Amino acid sequence: MKCVRNTRGKLRSIGTVEAVGEEAKVRVFPHFRRGLKGIEDFSHIIVLYWIHLRDNEDDRRVLQVVPRKHAAKVKVGVFACRSPSRPNPLGLSVVELMKVEEDLLTVKGLDALQDSPIIDIKPYLPRADSVPTARTPEWACYGPPT
């Protein structure tokens, strides 16, 4: 199992993205399978993954970008957008959980690449994860879903 190290400890990948596309496949390693108990009761989950193809010193030094998937060409900080280049290449997707088969999750809406290490999975809780009054800048209103 690949560990991602930081100055305070280790992040352990709990699985990997096995297939991408409209319906993606996330495989949880067998020794973490017990942690999936009850996940099938949720329609949506949050998948945290390591953006492994951006895990290099050059991409980790990037602090400002022009978001590629948005029509507006405005330079913003990486903490103000969803750029995969960032000091810690951690990705997040809220996905629809289609099917659970032992340690294999079939999901819709995952924007991770094949072989991306899965760092964590959390249930999506509308009462905690949705903020109807959230404010966003104008440029962020017109891009594709992320």
Residue carrying the six token digits 């409209």: 22
d(CA 47, CA 95) in angstroms, rounded, equals 7
Alpha helices by DSSP H, the chain: 57-61, 126-129
The pLDDT of residue 138 is 84
Domain extent listing, the chain: 7-51+89-127, 59-85
Ranges of beta strands (E only) in 7-116 are 9-12, 15-19, 23-28, 44-50, 64-65, 76-77, 90-101, 104-108
- So what's the architecture of 7-51+89-127 in CATH? Beta Barrel (2.40)
- Can you give the pLDDT of all 146 residues of the chain as single tens digits? 455 555 567 889 999 999 999 999 999 999 999 999 999 999 999 999 999 999 999 999 999 998 877 666 889 999 998 889 999 999 999 999 999 999 999 999 999 999 999 999 999 999 999 988 999 888 887 766 65
The answer to pTM > 0.95 is: no
